[in-house]
Amino acid sequence: DWSSDVCSSDLPFDRAIMLQKLLAWVVLTDQPMSSVAQESLKDLLLYCNKGAVTVSALTMRRSIEELYADLKSQNELELAVRRPT
């Protein structure tokens, strides 16, 4: 239901939040990395917020790799703590 969405157009643009939300969209909807470079997506982002800065497929790939490495480290740490001595 779109009517319950909070409009953030009055908020200042935050590149980190946009990247996080775009990353979630790419991963959760199984989009190719190149989808972030599509002119139609860039046009939509700029329409939603004129201050938006678009990202490249390479930036998206690096963000996903960093997220994976962070989650893997957290998982390994959690497993190490849970192992009986």
| Mean pLDDT of the 13-42 span | 88
Asked if the model's pLDDT at residue 39 lies above 70, the reply is yes
Q: Which two tokens stand for residue 25?
A: 């969209």
Distance CA 4, CA 7 (A): 9
Asked if the model's pLDDT at residue 7 lies above 70, the reply is no
**What is the DSSP code (8-state) at residue 34?**
G
pLDDT at 1: 46
Q: Is the pTM for the entire model greater than 0.75?
A: no
Q: Is the dihedral of CA 73, 77, 28, 14 positive or negative?
A: negative
